[in-house]
Every structure is written in structure tokens, then in C-alpha cells.
């Protein structure tokens, strides 16, 4: 068992520091106690791949391995899918991966029934009756269609995971992939350290039911709305056509840190009133209150020293929720790893190919973490970010892999490139071209 299980905040585990520079890194090494497992009987069948963790990243990896004809078995300490609706926005590259797996239409249908797919993001004083302070990046759908056959999807994690579980099948392992979250026991057991800005604050999310349709009208299916006024800094993500939702609170008055069990149901309803701007005495049901750390970390490596154990998703990187990048980077991690495992297990490549998972994905994930941090500074802390906020589409599909696994005639050290430019150099994303009018 691990002897430590907390994040070291810049001023202690529960202190918020919005001045820490992105370049300042810190490292945390967790120590494990000895556990004797010699008497535990070994199962007779050996699995090509074992997956630890069955949230959306772990389950996506299982589906991807099946797509490549590789058997896998998954283990998870939770009996069911996510209850609290965490991740919700699927970015372009993730949707393209679902398209490859034949899942895009089913996910889009589920998404369209709950969200306005064309809604953007705004910062307002209050959800109702407050002035608009800023509008976030807006992408012209016609322009995006030139770069990708897909569109972004709004779908909460507790909607997405059951769709993957419908396709789940269970079959000693050659390779283990750990998708067991930000407190990954596998990562700590392998001695893999965190590096990055650290813990930035302790926030809460409130899952609620309340009929807001009389106040919001067509905005009831809006994706994300940031709130900023003297009383509160928060964010709404509405669901069920404006009759339920998810509210994140990062500041209430002078309070910037929320320790576990410090917020009562009465407090939660007061926060809702301050953020929504609704003066009427409406019926609000608080389903749950979740406490979590706003943190920015990337693992120093994504695989074990023996090349048999890999980490992905939150086990490999933790980033602020601003921009919806966390779960998406995890899906892209396992998309990169799955085909490489299939090639090695199928005898089409040597195990050295697996080393490129680390060299290709880790720089991208670190960049995405820094972009999420920039969005936190600009959208939530309302300050000039340490690094400029790049366009969403550049972060989503503009990255490239300058990998040693491909032959480069004229190698480029650029990590990102114009997503609209039809480049075909090794490591670049294959240019998007419509072959028929039916978007195929």
C-alpha cells in the first residue's frame, strides 16, 4: 500500500496559489510497503494485455485493442460506471477516433438529445440576468469541416461509459496498461514521479436538479458557461434540456479552498443562487457534492523501465478542467498505444516500437496540460496567462509526432503545425479530404 496519498500544494496541500509560474516544476515520489503475493495462485491463462482501470480511457483502450484483434482483460475497483458527471466535451481528435471505431453516430445521437452541439462558451456575471464578460473561442463549423470529418461532442462521462460497457467482453499478461486515475497505484509502484506546477486549489462540483427552462429559454442546452462576480467564481454545464446540471465552484467570497465535507447542502444552494442570479425560490435538489484538486502535473515517463507497464489518462497527466482536455488526451494516449501493442504482439514490429508511445505522447500531453493551465488563468482567475492560449483546433488536431519510428527526409522539430495545411510529412496528421458527399 502507498504510504502517501496527497498532492503537495505550493503552499501546503490545501493552499491556492495563482502566481506560480508554469516553468516551476516539482517532483513527488511515493514509497510502497512490501507485499508478499507468493502464496496467491496464478491463473492458468496468460492475457496479451491487462488494463487497470475501466473508466472512459481504460474502456476505450479495450475497444481499440479489440479493433486491432488483440484480447485484453480489464480490472476496476468500482462496481459500475461514473455516477458524478465529470468529463463532458469530446474534442475533434477524440471524435475522429470514435468514428474509426464505428461509435460516432451513436455518441452523437446521445449528445444531441442533451446538448446544443453548436453552443459556445461564455463568461457571464450570472447565469440569468448578468452581462456577458467575455466569449471564448468560437470555431466556424464550415472552416472546421475543411480540416476534420467530425464535430465536437458534448457527452458527460456517466453517459459515455455505459455506451462503451455495452461492447465489453472479458477474456498472466505480456503487457499492462494502467488507466487507474490521478492517484495511480501502478504509477507510484513503478517509481514514476510527477512534475509540473502542482496543486492549484481545492474546488467542488455540485450535481443538481432544477428546472431552469423558464429562465434560460434556448440557452438551456448551452454547453459551458463561466460565472464571475464579486460573490462567486463558478461554471455551469447544463443537462437534460436545462432541468439538471453540474456546477463547479472555485471561489465563494474570500474562500478559495474547499476541504472535504466543508460544504453543506444549504451552502450549495446558496452558491447556486449567487451564480445563477435567479431570485425566485425555485426547487433545487442537490444530488451530490464532489471535492477535488485543481492540479497540473505530467508524469516524467509513461512506461516502466522494463517496457512492460504503461500508464495513460489521468494516471499519466492531470490538468485543470478548463478546455476539456483531460479525458481527450487520455483517449488519444490509448489510440497511440493500442496499434503499437497490436503490431508488437502480432510480430510485425519489435518491442522497441513501444518506446515511441512515451516519446510521442508525453510532449503532447505536457503541452495540453500547459494550455489547460493557461485557460484556467484567463477564464477562471481572470489574469494574463503565463503562456498564450492557442486556438482550440490547433491543440486538438494540429500536433505532430517527430518520432524516431518514422523516416524523415527533412525532419522538423516543430511540435505543432497549421491544422488546415494539407501536410503529409511523417509524424503529421493525414490530411482530411472528403471522398463523397455523404461525409465519408
Confirm if 328 and 384 have CB atoms less than 8 A apart: no
* 395 compared with 81, residue with greater pLDDT: 395
**Choice among 22-26, 79-83, 261-265 with the minimum mean pLDDT:** 22-26
Whether 5 is in a domain gets the answer no
**Same domain, yes or no: 306 and 342:** yes
Region 198-209 average pLDDT: 92
Region 229-237 average pLDDT: 92
Whether 227 is in a domain gets the answer yes
**Same domain, yes or no: 190 and 335:** yes
**Same domain, yes or no: 252 and 313:** no
Q: State how far the Cα of 215 lies from the Cα of 296, in Å rounded to an integer.
A: 36
**Same domain, yes or no: 59 and 190:** yes
Indicate the pairing of strand 72-75 with strand 47-52.
parallel
**Same domain, yes or no: 385 and 273:** no
Q: What is the pLDDT of residue 13?
A: 38
**Same domain, yes or no: 244 and 316:** no
**Choice among 126-130, 161-165, 258-262, 386-390 with the minimum mean pLDDT:** 161-165
**Same domain, yes or no: 57 and 69:** yes
Whether 156 is in a domain gets the answer yes
Domain boundary among 275, 294, 313: 294
Q: Which residues of 251-287 are buried (b: 16+ CB within 10 A; e: fewer)?
A: bbeeebbbeeeebeeebbbebbbbbbbbeeeeebebe
User: In terms of residue numbers, what domain contains 216?
Assistant: 201-294
* 279 compared with 438, residue with greater pLDDT: 279
Mutual angle of helices 326-345 and 56-67, in 10-degree steps: 30
Summarised one tens digit per residue, pLDDT across range 391-419 is: 988 888 888 887 666 666 666 667 788 88
Q: What CATH number should be reported for the domain holding residue 221?
A: 3.30.9.10
Which among 2, 406, 402 has a CA at the least distance from the CA of 191?
A: 2
Domain boundary among 243, 276, 294: 294
Q: What is the pLDDT of residue 3?
A: 38
Q: What is the pLDDT of residue 232?
A: 95
SS3 of residue 275 by DSSP: helix
**Same domain, yes or no: 266 and 332:** no
pTM recorded for the entire structure? 0.71
Q: State how far the Cα of 248 lies from the Cα of 368, in Å rounded to an integer.
A: 21
State how far the alpha carbon of 54 is from the alpha carbons of 60, 77, 315, 326, in Å: 9, 9, 12, 16
Whether 438 is in a domain gets the answer no
Whether 267 is in a domain gets the answer yes
Q: State how far the Cα of 89 lies from the Cα of 81, in Å rounded to an integer.
A: 18
Domain boundary among 247, 279, 294: 294
Number of domains in the chain: 2
Q: What CATH number should be reported for the domain holding residue 379?
A: 3.50.50.60
Place 19 in a pLDDT band, splitting at 50, 70 and 90. very low
Confirm if 202 and 210 have CB atoms less than 8 A apart: no
**Choice among 15-29, 39-53, 415-429 with the minimum mean pLDDT:** 15-29
Mutual angle of helices 92-100 and 104-112, in 10-degree steps: 130
Whether 177 is in a domain gets the answer yes
Whether 27 is in a domain gets the answer no
**Same domain, yes or no: 58 and 154:** yes
Which among 29, 363, 26, 319 has a CA at the least distance from the CA of 195?
A: 26
**Same domain, yes or no: 214 and 317:** no
**Same domain, yes or no: 225 and 328:** no
**Same domain, yes or no: 189 and 309:** yes
Whether 17 is in a domain gets the answer no
Amino acid at each position: 500500500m502507498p504510504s502517501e496519498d496527497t498532492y503537495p500544494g505550493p503552499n501546503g496541500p490545501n493552499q491556492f496559489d495563482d502566481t506560480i509560474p508554469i516553468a516551476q516544476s516539482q517532483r513527488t515520489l511515493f514509497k510502497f510497503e512490501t507485499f508478499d503475493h507468493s502464496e496467491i495462485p496464478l491463473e492458468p491463462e496468460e492475457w496479451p494485455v491487462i488494463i487497470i482501470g475501466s473508466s472512459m480511457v481504460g474502456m476505450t483502450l479495450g475497444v481499440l485493442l479489440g479493433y486491432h484483434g488483440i484480447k485484453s482483460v480489464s480490472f476496476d475497483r468500482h462496481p459500475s460506471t461514473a455516477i458524478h458527471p465529470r468529463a463532458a466535451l469530446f474534442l475533434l481528435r477524440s471524435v475522429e477516433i470514435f468514428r474509426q471505431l464505428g461509435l460516432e453516430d451513436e455518441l452523437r445521437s446521445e449528445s444531441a438529445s442533451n446538448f446544443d452541439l453548436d453552443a459556445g462558451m461564455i463568461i457571464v456575471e450570472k447565469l440569468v440576468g448578468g452581462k456577458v464578460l467575455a466569449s471564448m473561442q468560437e470555431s466556424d463549423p464550415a472552416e472546421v469541416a475543411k480540416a476534420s470529418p467530425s464535430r465536437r461532442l458534448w457527452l458527460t462521462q456517466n453517459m459515455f461509459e455505459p455506451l462503451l460497457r455495452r461492447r465489453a467482453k472479458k477474456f498472466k499478461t505480456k503487457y499492462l496498461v494502467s488507466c487507474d486515475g490521478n492517484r495511480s497505484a501502478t504509477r507510484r509502484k513503478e517509481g514514476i514521479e510527477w512534475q509540473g506546477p502542482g496543486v492549484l486549489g481545492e474546488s467542488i462540483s455540485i450535481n443538481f436538479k432544477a428546472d431552469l427552462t423558464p429562465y434560460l429559454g434556448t440557452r438551456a442546452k448551452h454547453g459551458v458557461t463561466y460565472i464571475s462576480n464579486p460573490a462567486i467564481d463558478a461554471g455551469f454545464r447544463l443537462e437534460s434540456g436545462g432541468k439538471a446540471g453540474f456546477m463547479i465552484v472555485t471561489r465563494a467570497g474570500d474562500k478559495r479552498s474547499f476541504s472535504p465535507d466543508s460544504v453543506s447542502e444549504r451552502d450549495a444552494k446558496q452558491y447556486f443562487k449567487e451564480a445563477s442570479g435567479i431570485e425566485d425560490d425555485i426547487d433545487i435538489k442537490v444530488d451530490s457534492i464532489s471535492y477535488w484538486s485543481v492540479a497540473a502535473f505530467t508524469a516524467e515517463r509513461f512506461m516502466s523501465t522494463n517496457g512492460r507497464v504503461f500508464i495513460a489518462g489521468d494516471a499519466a497527466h492531470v490538468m485543470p478542467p478548463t478546455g476539456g482536455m483531460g479525458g481527450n488526451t487520455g483517449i488519444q494516449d490509448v489510440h497511440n498505444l493500442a496499434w503499437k501493442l497490436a503490431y508488437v504482439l502480432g510480430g510485425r514490429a519489435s518491442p522497441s516500437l513501444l518506446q515511441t508511445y512515451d516519446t510521442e505522447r508525453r510532449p503532447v500531453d505536457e503541452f495540453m496540460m500547459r494550455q489547460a493551465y493557461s485557460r484556467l488563468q484567463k477564464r477562471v482567475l481572470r489574469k494574463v496567462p503565463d503562456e498564450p492560449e492557442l486556438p482550440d483546433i490547433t491543440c486538438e488536431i494540429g500536433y505532430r509526432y517527430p518520432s524516431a519510428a518514422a523516416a524523415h527526409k527533412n525532419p522538423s522539430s516543430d511540435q505543432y503545425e497549421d491544422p488546415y495545411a494539407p501536410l503529409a510529412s511523417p509524424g503529421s496528421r493525414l490530411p482530411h479530404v472528403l471522398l463523397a458527399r455523404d461525409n465519408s
